[in-house]
């Protein structure tokens, strides 16, 4: 076997984290994107900027704030402790919480673009045929925005796989809990285990390339359809 047991454990953990984060962001990101695409509110600018922040913010800034906020003395930490969950740093759900923020723009922005490109027309037609706004959303907007959903999900998933800095700051490097593939590679390099680092890096390189290839290969078809 080319990969060690701990490497495989790290890959599984990474896939689990990315799947959970993508799932949560589909639920959380869709209403945000929908609202951003349709609103004329003054809050559109600030909220859009807030969602996009992780694109430009150093992961260390996010990691620092999250470490304090999720710690036992922070607001999030106090809440999770009161709920009986305990503080979130060094836990799988702590990584999920951080990744939801970190990967938010990769979900919201493609969805927002998709919703905006539908325009108000199809929904007005649906309304004139007696559909409620909720009905119109599910039976008209969602199917039309399907390419956007696929792009957004793939990008969110891939971006979470590629997360490193935030995890390093709040993860505590625990095997099977917070030691994701990117951190495992870093550890291999630090310990001069270049061979293992090469193998795991190759896996991630091929994975990332294939993801992007799928995305780009699939896009032209989406336009035709």
Partner 1 sequence: MKLLKLCIVICSLLLCSTAAHAEKITVAAAADMKFAMEEILVAFKKAHPGNEVQIIYGSSGKAHTQIQQGAPYDIFFSADVAFPEHLVKKGMAVPPIRPYAIGRITLWSTTQDASNMTLESLTDPKITRIALPNPAHAPYGKRAEESLRAVGLWDRLKPKFVFGEDMIQTTQFVQTGNAQVGIISLSFALNPVLSKMGSYYLISDKLHHPLDQAYVITKLGSGKPLAKAFGDYMSSKAVRAIMIKYGFVLPGDVK
Q: Which of residues 48 and 86 has its CB atom nearest to partner 1 in the complex?
A: 86
Shortest Å, Cβ 178 to partner 1: 8
* Shortest Cβ 190–partner 1 spacing (Å): 4
Given the complex with partner 1, which of 70 and 140 has the nearer CB atom? 70
- Judged by the rule CB under 8 A, the positions of this chain that interact with partner 1 are 67-68, 70-73, 77, 86-87, 89-90, 168-169, 172-174, 187, 189-192
Nearer of residues 141 and 167 to partner 1, judged by Cβ: 167
State the nearest-atom distance from the C-beta of 172 to partner 1, in Å.
3
Gyration radius from the chain CA atoms: 20
Is the CB of 56 or the CB of 192 nearer to partner 1? 192
CB of residue 9 to partner 1, shortest distance in Å:
14
14 vs 109 by CB, closer to partner 1 = 14
* Dihedral sign of CA atoms 165, 170, 173, 175 in order: negative
Taking the complex as a whole, the smallest distance from the CB of residue 103 to partner 1 amounts, in Å, to: 23
């Amino acid at each position: 076997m080319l990969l060690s047991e701990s490497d495989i454990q790290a890959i599984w953990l990474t896939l689990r984290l990315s799947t959970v984060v993508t799932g949560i962001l589909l639920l959380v990101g869709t209403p945000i994107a929908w609202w951003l695409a349709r609103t004329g509110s003054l809050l559109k600018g600030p909220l859009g900027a807030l969602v996009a922040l992780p694109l430009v913010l150093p992961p260390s800034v996010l990691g620092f704030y999250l470490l304090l906020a999720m710690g036992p003395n922070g607001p999030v930490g106090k809440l999770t402790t009161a709920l009986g969950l305990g503080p979130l740093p060094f836990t799988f759900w702590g990584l999920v919480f951080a990744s939801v923020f970190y990967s938010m723009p990769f979900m919201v922005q493609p969805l927002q673009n998709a919703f905006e490109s539908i325009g108000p027309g199809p929904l007005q037609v649906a309304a004139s045929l007696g559909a409620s706004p909720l009905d119109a959303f599910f039976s008209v907007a969602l199917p039309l925005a399907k390419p956007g959903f696929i792009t957004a999900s793939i990008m969110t998933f891939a971006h979470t796989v590629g997360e490193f800095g935030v995890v390093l700051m709040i993860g505590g490097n625990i095997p099977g809990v917070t030691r994701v593939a990117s951190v495992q590679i870093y550890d291999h390099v630090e310990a001069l285990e270049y061979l293992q680092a090469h193998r795991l890096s190759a896996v991630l390189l091929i994975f990332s390339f294939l993801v992007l290839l799928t995305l780009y290969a699939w896009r032209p078809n989406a336009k035709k359809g």
